[in-house]
Chain A
C-alpha cells in the first residue's frame, strides 16, 4: 500500500517559487491501478518520484507498505526500490552499451543473483515481451517499441509488487502504446500496484481510477474502465 500524508514540495526556479505538491494526502491500496493526469508542471513527476524514494518531501510523510520511506537512509531506500518497486520511463532509459539481455539483468545483478539466475530470468522476461530473438541486441539496434518492451521486461525483473510508470506511452506510436497499456494491465491483474503518470487520456482509461493533479493539488478521482485481458496483452506485445 502507498500513502502520502500532508505532503508538500516546492522549488525555487529563476527566483520564483513553484509548488509541485501542496498538502497532498492520498492512499493507494495494494493492487490498485492509478493514472495520474494533469498539465505540465502540475507535479505529476514529483508525485511519482516521491513514491519511488528519490525525492524527499519538504513536509509530510510518504509510506510504502507502512514504512515511512524518508525515515530510511538512502542505502535502505535503494534497497526498498530494488525489492519493491519497478520503474518504467517515457524515454525508456536503457543503458546504451548493454544488450537487451544485460539491461534486463541490471536489477537482478543489483539484487546479487548468480549469473545463471540472472540469465534465466532475463531470458524468460524478454521472451514474455516477445524479444526472445533480440537478446544480444543493443538499444540502438532495436525499434522504439522494442526498446520500451525491454524496459518493461526490466521493470518486472525483480518481480516488484509496485510499478511506477512515468509517461510509459509518451514516445510510442498508437500500436506500441496499446501494447504497453495491455502489458501494464496484465501486470495489475497479477496483483501489482501501479501508479502511472500520463498525458494520454486513452492510457488513463485502463487504470482503475484517475487522479487529476493541478498546481500540486489532487482535484478529484475518477474510476477508469478495464479494457483488455491477459491474452490480448501478450499478443499485443508480440505484434
Chain B
C-alpha cells in the first residue's frame, strides 16, 4: 500500500461529497477556457480584418497636417530616409510592415497624377542590420493566424492590402486603377515619367482611395528623378494593435522626436476595447472560480477533516507523523485539481469549438496551450484552498481525535 492508494480509496469512498467540489472547479475552468479560446480566435479575426485595411501608423514630417489618411504622404515637407534605419534597428516590438514613401506630382500625356516611390521588401532583407531587427517577422500575438478557408491574397494585390511589395526593379512601375484606365495602360506596357521609361509590371485593382490615382516606382528611382536626395514624405507601418495599446506610438515618438506619429485611432481603439473587455471578462471569471471553486474545496476539505478526525487520530496512534497526514490531504487536493483541470479544459474547449462560431462568428480551434493553463490554475486553486484544512488535520490532537478523554 502507498499513500496514493490511501487517498484513492478515500476519494471513491466519499465520491458524492467530492462531486460538488469537482463540479465547481470543472465549471469554472471550462468557462474560462471557453472564453479564452473564443477570445483568442476573435482577436485574431479582428486583427486579420484590420491587417486587410493596411497600415495603421503613419510617420510624417513634424509640420505635416493629416486630412486624408491615404493621401497623407502627399506633403511638401520631407524627412531623412535614415528614419527607416533607426526604426528597423530599434528594439521596438510590434512593428510589422514598414513602407517608406516619397511622392511627387507628375504629368503624362495630359494626365496629372502622383508618382510614389516605395521600397520593396527584398531591399530591406538585403540589409543585414535590418534583417537582424526582425522587421519582417510578424510579432507574436499580432496580425493574422492561418485559419482554414482563409486564402492568401494574390501577389498583385499585396501592395494595396499590406502597403508593401516584395520586389520592384529600378525601371519597373505599378499603376493605380484610375491611372491605368485613364491612360489605357496594361501590364507589360512602357510608361515614361520625368524622362524615365518604366516597364508596367501590374495594374493594381481598384481600392477606392487615392492609391488608384498613383503610379508606384522604386523609392530610390523616384528620389533620383525628383532630385531631392535620400528623403521621404512618410513611412507607413502596420503596427500590432496589442503593441499600440502598450504604447507603441509613444515609443516611436521617443525614437523619432523630429517626426509626427499618427494612427488610425478609431480602428485601433475598437480593437483595444474589444481586447480589454475580453481580458476583463476572463479576469472576472477567474475571480469567480477562485472564490467559488476555492471556497467549495476549502469547505469540503474542512468537513472532510472533521469527519475523519477519528481516522486521523488512529493513523497518528499507529505512527503517522504530521507530514504524512498533511501529504494525504494535499495529494487528494492535487488529484482534485488535476481532474478538474483536465475535465474543465475538455469541456471548455468543446464549448468554444461548438458555440464559438455562433457567439463570435469565428472559427475556433482547440488550443493545447490552454490545457497547461487550466491544469495550473485548477491545481493551484485546489492546493491553496486545501492547505489550511490539511494543516489543521496535521495538527490535530490525536488524543482529542480519538475521543478518549
Contacts and interface: CB of A to CB of B under 8 A. Distances in A.
B395 to A, nearest CB: 9
Decide if the interface of chain B is mainly helix, strand, loop or mixed.
Answer: helix
Nearest to A92: B314
B318 A102 contact: no
Nearest to A84: B319
B402 A93 contact: yes
* The 5 residue pairs across chains A and B that have the minimum distance between CB atoms: A82-B319, A97-B13, A78-B321, A93-B314, A55-B399
Given A45-B404, A78-B321, A115-B2, 4 more contacts: A74-B321, A79-B319, A93-B311, A102-B1
A93 B321 CA distance: 18
B291 interface: no
A110 B2 CA distance: 9
Given A45-B405, A54-B398, A55-B399, A105 B1 contact: yes
Size bracket of the A interface: 35 or more
Contacts of A46: 405
Contacts of B399: 49, 54-55
B318 A87 contact: yes
A81 B318 contact: yes
Interface in B368-397: 397
Interface of A: 11, 20, 45-46, 48-49, 52, 54-55, 74-75, 78-79, 81-83, 85, 87, 89, 93, 95-98, 102, 105-111, 115, 118, 154, 158, 166
Nearest to B318: A107
29 contacts: A20-B405, A48-B404, A49-B398, A49-B399, A49-B405, A52-B317, A55-B405, A74-B321, A74-B322, A75-B321, A78-B320, A78-B322, A81-B317, A81-B318, A81-B319, A82-B318, A89-B314, A95-B314, A97-B12, A97-B13, A97-B14, A98-B9, A102-B5, A109-B2, A110-B318, A111-B319, A154-B318, A158-B319, A166-B404
Contacts of A105: 1
From A78, A82, A166, residue with most partner B Cβ within 10 Å: A78
A160 to B, nearest CB: 9
Interface of B: 1-3, 5-6, 9-10, 12-14, 310-311, 313-324, 397-399, 402, 404-405
A118 B323 CA distance: 21
A11 B1 contact: no
Given A54-B399, A55-B399, A110 B320 contact: yes
Nearest to B12: A97
A115 B1 contact: yes
Nearest to B321: A78
A55 B313 CA distance: 12
B361 to A, nearest CB: 51
A96 B13 contact: yes
Nearest to A94: B314
Contact of A107 (B13, B319, B398): B319
B134 to A, nearest CB: 55
Nearest to B315: A106
A82 B13 CA distance: 26
A82 B318 CA distance: 6
Contacts of B314: 87, 89, 93, 95
Given A49-B404, A74-B321, A166-B404, A97 B316 contact: no
Contact of A106 (B12, B318, B321): B318
A93 B401 CA distance: 11
A111 B318 CA distance: 10
Contacts of A106: 1, 315, 318
Contacts of B310: 93
A49 B316 CA distance: 12
A106 B320 CA distance: 9
Contacts of B14: 97
Contacts of B324: 110
A158 B318 CA distance: 10
